[in-house]
Amino acid sequence: MDAPAFPFSRELTMYLDDFTTRMRRGQVTESKNIAIETVNLMRHVISISRWDNVEQLTMLIKAVGRKLIKALPRELLIVNVLCRLLRIVAEESESVEFVEDSWSARRTRESASPRGAETPAMGVGTGAPGALMRTLTEQV
């Protein structure tokens, strides 16, 4: 069973076609340059496409990858770049979920605490109002 096709915009299709044409004509030959071109293509694809969550972004990357692999089956470097990109997206998603879970747990503790909220961005706990300013000036 195939994954559902991701709808490509006209602009995205033009970029993909241009990339595959340049690769087929041999205008990009060295492995380093192929990797750089692939990363630049994917960066542009991700920036011009609409996606609302990690699943949609992953579907987009996989759909573009399938199209590139179909057009350029001998370029294994492209597959490696796409796999690495998918892994980076997964790692970032996991770290964001971890931070969101930590913040929601912290908010739950803070709402139960009578002393008030901490200042997590500064790493300074609760205390007198002047304590934050003293801590900041001591660091400078």
Query: pLDDT of the chain along its 140 residues, tens only?
Result: 444 466 788 888 999 999 999 998 989 888 999 999 999 999 999 999 888 889 999 999 999 999 999 988 888 999 999 999 999 999 988 888 777 777 676 666 666 555 545 555 544 444 445 554 454 445 44
Q: Are 98 and 90 in contact (CB under 8 A)?
A: no
pLDDT of residue 8: 81
pLDDT of residue 124: 46
Taking the CA of residue 57 as centre, how many other CA atoms within 13 Å lie in the half-sphere pointing to its CB? 18
Q: Are 26 and 77 in contact (CB under 8 A)?
A: no
pLDDT of residue 37: 93
Measured CA distances, 43 to 15, 36, 58, 81, 100 (Å): 11, 10, 13, 12, 25
**What pTM was estimated for this model as a whole?**
0.65
